[in-house]
Structure 1
Amino acid sequence: MDKVECLLCPHHCKLNEDGIGFCRARINQSGTITALNYGLITSMALDPIEKKPLRRFFPGSKILSVGSFGCNLRCSFCQNYEISQAGFEEAYARKMSPESLIEEALSLRDQGNIGVAYTYNEPLVGYEFVRDCAKEARKNGLKNVVVTNGCFCEEPMRELLPDIDALNIDLKGFTQQFYDKLKGDLETVKRTIQIATEYSHVEVTTLIVPGENDSVEEIRALSKWLASVSKDIPLHITRFFPNYKMLDRDATEVAEVYRLAEKARESLEYVYVGNC
């Protein structure tokens, strides 16, 4: 049987029968690419919406956050590497249908829950489950939030976004050189941000990694570009802490995070600092 190409993200993995993609979450089964992690939940918590982070979308509310396993990037500083870099054999998960997940979300309404946030790992490598849950949530009057690296192709994003109310998109840096280290594509992420703003509330997060993406010039370029999409897109400038394969770095200086946030405010209306 011929290989089948996955068209979800820029890796365009070409998979043999039962072959698994770079993300470790997508598989060729009988000539169809599907989500190996469909309905497999590794993490679930009722979180403040600000933790996503979303600061200008129903502030003060809570949202049921769920994650699975897999990711299509390879960030050496990943905060959730136990699940994002895991595959089917390593991930400890429980099975849930879209209907059962939305029932769980509905049961938490009296605790302030407004919907479901697809997060923790890279949720969109499990595209089909997010899509099906989002439709079920919308039918039941719940909000859908996606926390994503944004490194996904335009066609599947446009199919999903009509059912998504808000996104936080990681803009890891503003050079392809940095994205090369992460196995990602900057232009694709920029395009995702542009497309998402056509449909949904969008906020953007940039983690400041010392010696990697922390120059004033880069933050100025990033914030100017973001302002060209909309000056009202909130940008979260967050502090790096050593983790995963990047334990040899010191945490970002708090003063540096605030300094870079001030530079971003030259172009953007809403800039927040995080992890400080």
Structure 2
Amino acid sequence: MTAKAELRLHDAILYDKLPDNRVKCNVCQRRCNIPEGRLGFCMTRINKDGNLYSTIYGVVSSLHADPIEKKPVYHYLPGSKSLSLGSFGCNFRCAFCQNWEIAYADGSRIPAVAGRYVSPEEAVSLAKQYACRSISWTYNEPAIWIEYALDCAKLAKEHGFHTIYVTNGYCTQEHLDLIGPYLDVYRVDIKSFDDEFYQKLINVPSAVGIREVAKLAKHKWKMHVEAVTNVIPTWNDDESNLRQIARWIVDNLGELTPWHVTRFFPCAELTDVPPTPLQTLEYAAKIGFEEGLKFVYIGNVAADQDTRCPQCQTTAVSRIGYYASVRSVTPDGKCANCGADLGIVME
């Protein structure tokens, strides 16, 4: 990262002009109606003279060459590295956000925070320099970074890189249709099946739209999809909720879709809630298998992360922490021992 970020406005996309110099942003399902001179909910999209601008184009808060498993993404290019980029702001206000320092930041005050400017060209160059096979938009919500993510994704595909959205899933269908041709992986949070959870802890009225867009990613745009549920004691750890999530994944994304059930740690506004007991995560995984999922992984704990063939139990991919070793997977993602489909993308 070479340049200190400054507050530079970049023409926004996906918005409608309204009377009285208002604009309606269509990047996420909030569809903010933004008056002149004001910011949208995410604090990164501003109305100037009846035109919408992004305040975070190319503004990077975090940049790392991570193992792809850290996303977590387990069934796509296992063992590879992904150049991971994050900015500031979010269209959610999760009471349990682990990245709240950047997610809650005011994107209009970029000079006051520790951001750096990274052009799409530099991002691709860094991916080459660090021998990454993919580029990920992560750490904060990439949907509000659409102008930058789209430019980066187009350039990344031209240079042979795979592309990954690590998202809360609250983008609009038109957003997904715009960037869909340039995305390979949609790693989506299914935080709960209960709308009340989203209302109380996230300030979102319903999660139905999140699930609908995830289906589009899988079936319309043929993306590889993996789902994550951060299991929070007393909030989303009841059997009914976990079964509904697992059943929905099987019915709508397919039985080979990896489901990551991860441990919650006290943070942000939920410091009084204890970490998720390991037994709860093991029970969540058991539920996932009972509902028909073939691959359920327990995350944020020192647990078994290996991928085993559901048919012959051969270890296909072994993992220690975030580091993976492919042991028995064919180039087309099948078990090298028995030929069962593992749903793993190798190339």
- 1:19 corresponding residue in structure 2: 38
The answer for unaligned runs of 5 or more in structure 2 is 1-19, 302-347
Whole-Å Cα distance in 1 between the matches of residues 77 and 198 of structure 2?
A: 32
Alignment-derived partner of residue 203 in structure 2: 183
Structure 1 counterpart SS, 2:297: strand
Indicate if the aligned counterparts of 1:6 and 1:12 stay in contact, CA closer than 8 A.
yes
Task: Give the counterpart of 1:236 among 260, 267, 274.
Answer: 260
- Which residue number corresponds to residue 249 of structure 2? 226
Count of residues in correspondence between the two structures: 273
Instruction: Tell me the CA shift for residue 125 of structure 1.
Output: 0.7
Mapping 1:48-59, distance limit 5 Å? 48-59=67-78
Is residue 168–residue 190 contact of structure 2 (8 Å, CA) maintained in 1? yes
* Residues 58 and 119 in structure 2, CA contact (< 8 A), matched pair in contact too: yes
Aligned Cα root-mean-square deviation (Å):
1.1
* Cα distance in structure 2, aligned partners of 1:191 and 1:25: 25
1:260 to partner: Cα distance: 1.0
Distance 2:143 2:92 in 1: 12
SS in structure 1 opposite 2:178? helix
Greater alpha carbon shift after TM alignment, 190-199 vs 57-66: 190-199
Contact 1:35 1:127 in 2 (8 A): no
| Selected match of 2:138 from 119, 138, 143 | 119
Unaligned runs of 5+ in 1: none
TM-score of the superposed pair, with normalisation by structure 2: 0.77
Structure of greater Rg: 2
2:83 match = 64
Alpha-carbon distance between aligned partners in 1 of 2:150 and 2:73, rounded to the nearest angstrom = 21
CA contact (8 A) 2:21 2:49 kept: no
Percent same amino acid among aligned pairs?
36
Q: Residues 61-210 of structure 1 correspond to what in structure 2 (within 5 A)?
A: 61-88=80-107, 89=109, 91-109=113-131, 113-181=132-200, 182-184=202-204, 185-198=206-219, 199=221, 200-210=223-233
What's the secondary structure of 2:235's corresponding residue?
A: coil
The answer to whether the 8 Å contact 1:208/1:237 transfers is: yes
Structure with the higher fraction of residues in helix conformation: 1
1:245 equivalent in structure 2: 269
Change (3 A) 1:69 1:201: same
Equivalent in the alignment of 2:6:
none
Contact 1:83 1:91 in 2 (8 A): no
SS in 1 for 2:82: strand
Structure 1 equivalent of residue 279 of structure 2? 255
Number of the residue aligned with 1:264: 288
Equivalent residues of 2:66, 2:83 under 8 A apart = yes
Question: SS of the residue aligned with 1:259?
Answer: helix
